[in-house]
């Protein structure tokens, strides 16, 4: 009895405030604009019995999905979101790997302190950290000022409001999510393995590619998913750093909802985004489960 009560409280909460809302989004994505704007007329009227159910299905409308797939704007937004997220994830991996490697090889006494320093920026506001880059990247900003005063460039670089700025923003904001899982898997590698490889005549770079990197694969995968999945739906970074040419799907949804006030299309955009992300999310969860099993098995 008590066990049942214990389970039901968090279960019901998530059911009502996480799962049910998705069904509502799905339902509204299938409605006409006039019906979907409040006040709602109940679409599914069970009091009318079978006729009500039939009515419900006859009212279903895939118009919003047709709009999304026939308009190049939306298709491009999905495409560029996936492309930007993918490239940014690769850069984050390239930037994060040496840092995580350095931390894992640092003196043991230093490691808690280094970890703390990686986590600390994560505790300061995401919005503020993205905002800080505006002052750095804009034409009369600090980066151009710096480069020009050293004579490296003569004309200010145009970085803010380009896709490059979005990449920089994503790499910067999500770097801790990459470093932490990488560090966790690199730190576990037994140094004896590398010593053995060296004793057997392997040069350091070869040991790295044949021993260290394969063994850090769980961290590489976990970090990449943790960066890629939220980056696809990112809103703040493309909005503040990217220009009007950089269209990402999170921003499109936001505009559709807040500026165009087209709730059904916004819902349809959300449903398709969710479908696009289902594969990476499922892969990520499977990867996490395997990690947990391996941990438990040791």
Partner 1 sequence: MRRFSWFNATSIALGFAFLYIPILLLVIYSFNESRLVTVWGGWSTKWYASMLQNEQLLTAAWVTLRVAFVSSTLAVILGTLAAVVLVRAGRFPGRTLFSGLIFAPLVMPEVITGLSLLLLFVAVGFARGFWTVVIAHATFSMCFAAVVVQARLYDFDKSVEEAAMDLGATPVRTFMQVTLPIIAPSVISAWLLAFTLSLDDLVIASFTTGPGATTLPMRIYSQVRLGVTPEINAISTVMIGFVTIGVLIASYATKRSSARRERDLRTAEAGGT
Stretch 103-162 residues interacting with partner 1 (CB under 8 A): 103, 105-108, 114, 116-121, 123-129, 131-136, 138, 140-142, 145
Q: How many CB atoms are located within 10 Å of the residue 254 CB?
A: 17
Asked if residue 200 binds partner 1 (CB under 8 A), the reply is no
Asked if residue 208 binds partner 1 (CB under 8 A), the reply is no
Backbone region of residue 201 per phi and psi (left: phi > 0; alpha: psi in -120 to 50; beta: other values): left
Asked if residue 250 binds partner 1 (CB under 8 A), the reply is yes
Q: Residue 88 Cβ, how far from partner 1 at the closest point, in Å?
A: 14
User: Two tokens at 268?
Assistant: 């349809």
Asked if residue 86 binds partner 1 (CB under 8 A), the reply is no
The nearer residue to partner 1, 114 or 220, going by C-beta atoms, is 114
List the one residue from 67, 257, 287, 291 that touches partner 1 (CB under 8 A): 257
| Residue 91: Cβ-neighbour burial (10 angstroms; 0-12, 13-18, 19+) | middle
Q: How many residues bind partner 1 (CB under 8 A)?
A: 86
Q: Angle at Cα 41 formed by Cα 39 and Cα 46, nearest 5°?
A: 145
Q: Residue 50 Cβ, how far from partner 1 at the closest point, in Å?
A: 24
CA-nearest of 265, 288, 290 to 62 is: 265
Asked if residue 6 binds partner 1 (CB under 8 A), the reply is yes
Q: Residue 133 Cβ, how far from partner 1 at the closest point, in Å?
A: 6
State the Cα–Cα distance between residues 291 and 60, nearest whole angstrom: 43
Asked if residue 272 binds partner 1 (CB under 8 A), the reply is no
User: Two tokens at 203?
Assistant: 């040069």
């Amino acid at each position: 009895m008590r066990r049942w009560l214990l389970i039901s409280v968090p279960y019901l909460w998530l059911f009502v405030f996480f799962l049910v809302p998705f069904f509502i989004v799905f339902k509204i994505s299938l409605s006409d604009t006039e019906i979907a704007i409040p006040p709602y007329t109940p679409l599914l009227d069970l009091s009318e019995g079978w006729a009500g159910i039939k009515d419900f299905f006859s009212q279903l409308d895939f118009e919003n999905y047709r709009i999304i797939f026939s308009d190049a704007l939306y298709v491009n937004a999905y495409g560029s979101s996936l492309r930007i997220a993918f490239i940014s994830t690769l850069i984050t991996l390239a930037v994060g790997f040496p840092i995580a490697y350095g931390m894992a090889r640092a003196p043991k006494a230093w490691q808690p302190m280094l970890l703390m320093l990686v986590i600390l920026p994560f505790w300061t506001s995401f919005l503020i950290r993205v905002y800080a880059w505006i002052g750095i990247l804009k034409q009369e900003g600090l980066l151009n000022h710096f480069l020009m005063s050293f004579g490296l460039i003569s004309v200010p670089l145009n970085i803010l409001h380009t896709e490059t700025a979005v990449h920089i923003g994503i790499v910067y904001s999500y770097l801790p999510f990459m470093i932490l899982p990488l560090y966790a898997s690199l730190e576990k590698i037994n140094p004896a393995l590398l010593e053995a490889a060296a004793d057997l005549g392997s040069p350091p770079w070869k040991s790295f590619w044949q021993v260290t990197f394969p063994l850090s694969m769980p961290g590489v995968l976990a970090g990449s998913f943790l960066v890629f999945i939220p980056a696809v739906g990112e809103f703040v970074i493309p909005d503040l750093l990217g220009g009007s040419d950089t269209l990402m799907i999170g921003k499109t949804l936001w505009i559709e909802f807040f500026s165009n006030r087209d709730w059904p299309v916004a819902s349809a955009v959300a449903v398709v985004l969710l479908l696009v992300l289902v594969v990476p999310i499922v892969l990520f969860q499977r990867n996490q489960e395997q990690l947990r099993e391996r941990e438990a098995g040791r």
